[in-house]
């Protein structure tokens, strides 16, 4: 199971999350997004970049509430809602956006 990026194979698990986090690149994100039927816009990148920054500091994805708060600050109050996050990432900001951002899938009762 792998994604093809510029001629290289990047391995992923059964659910499409990359197995080696260091394999991530912007080009790969586009490839994953395409497989997820998500068209990456600036807003999508804003979220993905925030997730990656947060992950770098905390080694885990942020709570949805934390993400929304950050989005509210950078993109404005009308976009700081769960609903808008689901418009961007129909399968959920936590799971789908993490997949595109090359982060591990959050697990648990979520």
Partner 1 sequence: MAPLDTDKAQLDVRGPDGHPLEIPRLACGAMADLKSFPAAPEHQEALGFPGELVENWQEVAIAKMGELAQKNRAFQVYLDACVKCGACTDKCHYFLGTGDPKNMPVARQDLLRSVYRRYYTFAGKYFPWLVGARDLTREVLDEWYTYYHQCSQCRRCSVFCPYGIDTAEISMAAREIMDCVGVGQKYCNEIIGKVKAVGNNLGLNPKALGATLEGLEEDIEEETGISVRLPLDEKGADILLITPSADFFADPHIDGLIGYAKVFHEAGVSWTLSSYASEAANFGMFIGSYENMREVSLRIRQAALDLGVKRIVFGECGHAWRVAYSFLNTLAGPFDFLDQKYPVPQHILEFTWGEIQKGTLTFDKSKNDEFRLTYHDSCNVARGSRMGDMPGGQFEIPRNVLKAVCNHYFDMDRDTIMESTLCCGGGGGLLTDDLMDLRVKGSSPRMKALQQVTADHGVTHMAAICAICKSQFSKVMPKFGYEMDSILSVHQLVSNAIVLTGQNAGEDDADEAGED
Catalytic residues, by residue number, are 109
We find the least distance from the C-beta atom of residue 41 to partner 1, in angstroms, to be 19
Six-digit token pair at 78?
């009308």
Distance CA 20, CA 66 (A): 26
Q: Which of 6, 7, 14, 76 binds partner 1 (CB under 8 A)?
A: 14
Q: Which of residues 80-99 bind partner 1 (CB under 8 A)?
A: 81-83, 86, 90-91, 94-95, 99
DSSP state letters, 6-35: TTEEEEB-TTS-BSSGGG--HHHHHHHHHH
The answer to whether residues 73 and 35 touch, using CB atoms and an 8 Å cutoff, is no
* Total binding residues toward partner 1, as defined by CB under 8 A: 36
Residue 74 near partner 1 by CB under 8 A: no
Torsion of CA 28, 34, 38, 43, to 10 degrees: 40
Residue 63 near partner 1 by CB under 8 A: yes
Rule CB under 8 A: which residues touch partner 1?
A: 1-4, 12, 14-16, 32, 35-36, 58-60, 62-66, 68-69, 81-83, 86, 90-91, 94-95, 99, 104, 106-110
């Amino acid at each position: 199971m792998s994604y093809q990026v510029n001629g290289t194979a990047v391995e992923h698990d059964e659910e499409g999350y990359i197995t080696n986090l260091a394999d991530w690149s912007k080009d790969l994100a586009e490839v994953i997004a395409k497989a997820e039927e998500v068209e990456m816009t600036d807003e999508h990148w804003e979220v993905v970049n925030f997730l990656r920054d947060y992950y770098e500091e905390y080694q885990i994805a942020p709570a949805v509430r934390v993400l929304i708060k950050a989005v509210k600050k950078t993109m404005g109050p009308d976009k700081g809602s769960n609903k808008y996050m689901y418009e961007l990432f129909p399968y959920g900001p936590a799971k789908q956006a993490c997949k595109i951002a090359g982060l591990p899938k959050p697990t648990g009762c979520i």
